[in-house]
Chain A
Amino acid sequence: MAEDTWATEDSRLREGLRAYRLIAVMWIRSTMAYPLSFALTAVGGLVVNGLDFVAILLMFSRIDTLGGYALPEIAFLYGLSALAFGFADLAIGSMDRLGTRVRDGTLDTLLVRPAPVLAQVAADRFALRRIGRITQGTVVLGYGLAACDIAWTPLKLLLMPVMLASGGLIFCAVFVAGAAFQFVAQDAAEVQNAFTYGGTTLLQYPPTVFGKELVRGVTFVLPLAFVNWVPAAYVLGRPYPLGLPEWAAFTPPLVAAVCCALAGLAWRAGLRSYRSTGS
């Protein structure tokens, strides 16, 4: 399999996306079999997500700055993190259920289908209600953009979508790598949540409030800092965490690509170990 050509990789990608779409649509329709339940969970999710930022607002009723960042800047960071995570969560957020599928053997039913397993698992339990997080993130980011006094340049404008797309991909890579780990440890869903949900919460606060070791960890080990901290520092004209050079603000696409490649390798290794050891 090592000598897979680019052409077959490309067709595998297209096959995967196609399978993903087919399965995701089935899940949406399944959810719509209970419209009231869907409406309630969607509204509930929106409220819970909304309250999340309200907590920060309350905090700022007592303080003026947090780690040197004012409320609009915090909103900017928060919005970026929430949006990037929201995209990943909506797209493949149910991958943390892989361990369950391995344990109860239902992964086998996916392995006999003529479609890449990763795509099938990624689309598993596709939940439209997760748009709630994206909605909330958009509102908060909107507020941050409006309230921050940013000296816009074409480069900064360009960086915004690039940063969001890269951030989404970095979180996707974390989801995939976490799922791959569940081939080995089937009850590691909570470990994965610590990195995904935990990661996005971490990024909602400026790097200056955290210890240097932690910032180092999320920069060089699990590069979540490239979701918003590093590129946002450029947009906001803030000092870079860990004294990184300015060009680091433009590396998120590169970091995302490396993360995705590593996650892909981890996934292959995980699937191979499943197929050679059984459940």
Chain B
Amino acid sequence: MTESAFIEMDRVEKVFDVRKKTGFLKREVRRVRAVDSLSFTVARGEMVGYIGPNGAGKSTTIKMLTGILTPSGGRLRVAGIDPSRERTRLAHRIGVVFGQRTTLWWDLPLIDSYRLMHRMYRIPDARYRENLDRLVELLGLGELLDVPVRQLSLGQRMRGDIVAALLHDPEVLYLDEPTIGLDVVSKAKVRDFLRELNTERGTTVLLTTHDLQDIEQLCSRVMVIDHGRMMYDGPLAGLHEAGESERTLVVDLERELPPIEAPAPARVVRVEGPRQWLAFPASQSAAPLVARIAQEYPLVDLSVREPDIEAVIAKMLHSLGDTPKPPPERTTA
């Protein structure tokens, strides 16, 4: 293993036997490949977005990387450790935030949960104090340390959970839906913090999310997984190409007119009174198109819309011959 490959997955598989009741005592056993020969490496200090539809195998991957689940096959290393064999040793080196499950103590002041981490992870006193002060300040939790967790808002609790996951200086942080259910301000705070954590401390970050703004704002690299297989691994920009994504030009004309005759591949996709929507490839500049329309039509106003990544992914998965048949919904989020 090279030193730079901090997380290493080599043809990792995870097969579940799903039992379905079909009669009084009869059970139908079906094998589900949650993760199917998945390979990737993540270098130390990378910040990677891990996305895919529900049931694609994201959570299963994270659970294998944290040692919660044992892979059915393949080779898996995090910091040189086999997670499922040396779960507790690995625990000292990783931080995990489950978006929908808090690890904080509901009825106790926030600081008490941190004191427990301090002792459970045997964090040296000086380092604990230093980390706590820094994290609490960065995430704006200073005044909330003595407040019982049950009185915190969802956003505050999420930030509280992030602090709890980082007190022991983990080298890698896994975040499962870190901004789910948060308001705009809380989302921004969490994102700013993660960016700082990654650039200042060099912490490797792997995050799963449904919020594509998270990815756009944070991750230089995206991995798209579906049906347990890697569908795309590369920069965000490349995802647009792979998905043949299109930008949209919205033009307001002086009056209702028949659809604009735009030069191909640009085309009108929607007309609503004096407003018209034109789609054109994301890789192409909008300038010539705008100039042409301004010349030939009575233009009042215009705007350009960036492609919606969700649509890009859907399109990409579709173009790869992936029929939209999601694997059985699993209760683990």
Contacts of B84 in A (CB 8 A): 275
Which residues of chain A are near B106, meaning CB under 8 Å?
30
Whether B91 lies near A114 (C-beta < 8 A) is: yes
Interface segment out of the listed B60-68, B129-137, B251-259, B309-317? B60-68
Q: Chain A contacts of B101 at CB under 8 A? A: 104-106, 108-109
CA distance A13 to B63 in the complex (A): 25
A278 pairs with B63, CB closer than 8 A = yes
Binding site for B on A (CB under 8 A): 1, 15, 19, 22-23, 26, 29-30, 33-34, 103-106, 108-109, 111-116, 272, 275-279
- Distance, CA A19 to CA B88, complexed state (A): 12
Do A112 and B85 form a contact, CB below 8 Å, given A26-B108, A29-B108, A105-B101? no
B87 and A111 within 8 A (CB): yes
Q: Please give the residue numbers on chain B whose beta carbons come within 8 Å of chain A beta carbons, in ascending order.
A: 14, 16-17, 34, 60, 63, 66-70, 72, 84-85, 87-89, 91-92, 94, 96, 98, 101, 103, 105-108, 112, 116, 119-121, 148, 330-333
**Sample of 18 A–B contacts (CB below 8 Å):** A19-B120, A22-B119, A26-B105, A26-B108, A30-B106, A30-B107, A103-B331, A106-B101, A108-B68, A109-B101, A112-B94, A113-B88, A113-B120, A115-B88, A275-B84, A276-B69, A278-B34, A278-B63
Q: Do A276 and B70 form a contact, CB below 8 Å, given A114-B91, A114-B92?
A: yes
Complex Cα distance, B90 from A114, in Å, reads 8
- Which label, helix, strand, loop or mixed, suits the secondary structure of the A interface? helix
Contact at A33–B91, with CB atoms within 8 Å? no
User: Are A112 and B148 in contact, with the CB atoms below 8 A?
Assistant: no
- The distance from the CB of A11 to the nearest CB of chain B, in whole angstroms, is 11
Contact B108 A115 (CB under 8 A): no
Alpha-carbon distance A19/B121, docked complex (angstroms):
10
Is the pair A275, B69 in contact by a Cβ cutoff of 8 Å? yes
Q: Is A111's CB under 8 angstroms from B333's CB?
A: no
Question: B105 to nearest A CB, angstroms?
Answer: 6
Minimum distance in angstroms from B22 CB to a CB of chain A = 18
Q: Tell me whether A112 and B69 are in contact in the complex, defined as CB-CB below 8 angstroms, given that A1-B85, A22-B120, A30-B108 are known contacts.
A: no
Pairwise interchain contact B331-A34, C-beta atoms closer than 8 A = no
Asked if A29 and B112 make an inter-chain contact with CB atoms under 8 angstroms apart, the answer reads: yes
Closest B residue, CB atoms, query A106: B101
Q: Are B120 and A114 within 8 A (Cβ)? A: yes
Chain B residues within an 8 Å CB radius of A26 = 105, 108, 112, 116
